[in-house]
Structure 1
């Protein structure tokens, strides 16, 4: 049984086996099934997220605040998926890393940047929906595109800071894996204290801190949406439609990523020897494989959700790729309105007479 390379195979295997008699080997299906899976989600995800970014960039109207956050989320997913084929090659070669030390750091940087930036983009989206529906008048000035762009820039910088352990400790080193020495791209921490400190950054800043913020905003948003839709103003109805898409994207993200973070926290407890036992170690290793790749699949789902749930996004797609049809629709509606208006005026004038 192997651990995915994205989840620090060398260190994890060493820490799990040092001082114990637990032995584990890699099933051959990992080198075939997982390679195909990673390549498929990489290709689909790159195409879908490029499509989303093209729609947002080519559309004539400027992006709304929510669309700015969603476009940055698509960019984060695109970065992750663009580097996944390198891991597919590594898995196919039995976790041997042939691309050098710089690519080892860069590929893992893209993965962790996606983990951190995605959750904090969703935090910003949740706060924006909270201000739009729960307190629309109090924070109207803050809901401006320039502040949204500044928030996205801060999220990218914050994600880069949190990825510091990856840049410092991730390297290509010889490791005895499955009874053979090979170059593996792995984290090489100097001691257990540094290991627990650096590995604890992910669950704390990538899960424990942002999730309560998202949960509180979601609770308030759901309460606001429970009002009768007919009582909302036209602008609030537009916000309602945007919020529906956001809530679906948020729910999908949680389904894909919460299991990963739970297993990550259990893994830290095993490393700290709070929990022990070969059976538990085997379960953690297996769950880590499954939930890591489930989390990656979220990057493919987001663009699909935009098309299925997002009515505004579908309208933007038609305006970008079928502008003639859209102009024809607008011309027809404008012509009908001009025909109706004189008729109404004539009837009102006749009534007066």
Structure 2
């Protein structure tokens, strides 16, 4: 997400030229490995697994979101080096929409996974009423509806006019779209809100695992995977959304120093590139997290059942 041309003598030509090579170095491995891993995950979930569970539905949805994002990377690499004719403006807008649908669809799907895991492990008895494949499917459909309805109207108006008659796809968003309402919604509903939910659910799940299975190797393994999956979410997306906020300050005139503006311009482009690595991390972390969560859920349910029996027997004495 590069910035639009600003009324300033500060030049970002050197940064843009550097990013042409940096994007190739980052995007090519992400595209190749991410596509293979997510296609393999879809084959496993949709073909090899005979029974659809809540976890497999969420994982399938996550893989689909990641693939939508990955399929935009070749176009994004091409658009970095070449401007497109105005006839491709509509096609460019669709690609930009799908790119952000993939990003925020993945974020919301990960939030659903964290919530589902929290319910399954921390509330195993209530999970019978709250969790079901049908409920998971409805949640996934809801994610698609939310991200499409929120992304398309905003991104459609992001493009600014261009005096050369060419389209800078994935770049040069118009300055008037960097307003407080758009950026606030993006930061709060696109990242901060889901991040708080994911952190809360992960912390509560880890606490429950520590309390119910301190001596269990499965529970310890599950805790490590939750930590790694949490890191796989926060590490790619936190810097990129911080960069968006800093770029917003530049457009609002809060940051006017040319050196700082150049660094922020480089920072937002690099972090947006690196945020796509989540497509590779998702395919690895969350699949194994689901496997461990199912094993840990059984041990916790047994532990809680024993505690309840002990409580009832004590009260009868």
- TM bin (shorter chain): 0.7 to 0.9
Given the two structures, how large is their TM-score scaled by the length of structure 2? 0.80
1:153 paired residue among 141, 157, 166: 141
User: Per-residue CA shift, 1:22-76, capped at 9, x if unaligned?
Assistant: 2221354433342353233222211211110011001242232122112111110
Contact 1:44 1:300 in 2 (8 A): yes
1:39 equivalent to 2:23? Answer: no
Change (3 A) 1:312 1:197: closer
Aligned match of 1:58: 47
In structure 1, the residue matched to 2:98 is 110
| Deviation for aligned residue 1:207 | 1.2
Shift of 1:286: 0.9
Instruction: Give the match for residue 290 of structure 1.
Output: 270
Report the Cα distance in structure 2 between the residues aligned to 1:276 and 1:147, rounded to whole angstroms.
Answer: 50
1:97 alignment counterpart: 84
SS in 2 for 1:123: helix
The structural deviation recorded for 1:100 is: 0.4
TM-score scaled by length of structure 1: 0.72
- In structure 2, the CA distance between the partners of 1:209 and 1:100, relative to structure 1 (3 Å rule), is same
Q: 1:256 aligned to 2:232? A: no
Structure 1: distance between partners of 2:179 and 2:272 = 20
Which runs of 5 or more residues in structure 1 are unaligned?
1-6, 314-353
- 2:4 corresponds in structure 1 to 13
Tell me which residue corresponds to 2:257. Answer: 277
Structure 2: stretches of 5+ with no match in the other structure: 293-317
> Out of 237, 245, 261, which is 1:265 matched to?
245
Pairing partner for 1:211 from 184, 195, 199: 195
Partner Cα distance (1:251, 1:193) in 2: 31
Query: Contact 1:131–1:140 (CA<8 Å) still a contact in 2?
Result: no
Per the alignment, residue 110 of structure 2 pairs with: 122
Would the alpha carbon gap of residues 151 and 133 (structure 1) be closer, same or farther in structure 2, given more than 3 Å must change? Answer: same
Where does residue 162 of structure 1 map in the other structure?
150
**Distance across 1 between alignment mates of 2:184 and 2:84:** 26
Q: Is the 8 A contact 2:214 2:220 kept in 1?
A: no
Give the number of aligned pairs.
289
Report if aligned partners of 2:191, 2:241 keep a CA contact under 8 Å in 1: yes
Per-residue deviation, 1:187: 6.3
Alpha-carbon RMSD: 2.9
Q: Which moved more, 1:260-269 or 1:244-253?
A: 244-253
Structure 1 Cα separation of the partners of residues 103 and 266 of structure 2: 20
- Matched with 1:329 is none
Worse-superposed segment, 270-279 or 109-118: 270-279
Structure 2 counterpart of 1:84, from 73, 78, 103:
73
**Could you tell me how far apart the structure 2 residues matched to 1:292 and 1:193 are?**
18
**1:194–1:42 distance in 2 versus 1, CA, 3 Å:** closer
* 2:253 aligned counterpart, secondary structure: coil
For residue 202 of structure 1, what is the aligned residue in structure 2?
Answer: 186
State how far apart, in whole Å, the 2-side matches of 1:193 and 1:112 are. 15
CA distance in 2, matches of 1:175, 1:220: 54
